[in-house]
Structure 1
């Protein structure tokens, strides 16, 4: 483990400014560990959202409009999922080492995406005014 109070080691190229090498490698290592841990949680995330979609959309699952909406929602949900490991990596890089952060971010993010899924699928379940 490196001493956080030591002076950074710098590298310099003719074209680049000198930059600390230990900061980049430690941030890379933090992000790698964090993203790998979140990838294990992705399966739980997908199962939760998949069950929710099946329950909410139920009989409408065979309609093309519903399938397009589900595919679009799945893409948006997976993009939103990346917010969790990004926020956690940044917090850990700043020095936070608590264990509850990942659980809180995962739970709140999953609830938010569930609410977004319900809101978007509700439009399919309501009768068309006409």
Structure 2
């Protein structure tokens, strides 16, 4: 079920209903854009909550990302993974743009290893 689409509609309907009952709705020129903005913000919030709810920490193992900076072995740096910036600790030196694989996740830190590029020439 598209829960992330249904919940904002319910929330907006309740808010509009409460505003009508209490008499706060007076000018539709001001209220309609306000409800559109409120609806968009609520939709994005609920979508994020539903999308990230119950994420298994082992889900990250084996995923590939890209280094955003040069990172020395054992020090912290940042990588892009699934459109998000993550703190990462590599097991060897990596350069900006190198592809990395997640080995494990501890808290908000990913431990990664460099993906070795295969030499296709014989």
User: TM (normalized to structure 1)?
Assistant: 0.34
Higher RCO, 1 or 2 (CA under 8 Å, sep at least 6)?
1
Bigger helix fraction:
1
User: TM (normalized to structure 2)?
Assistant: 0.36
Bigger strand fraction:
2
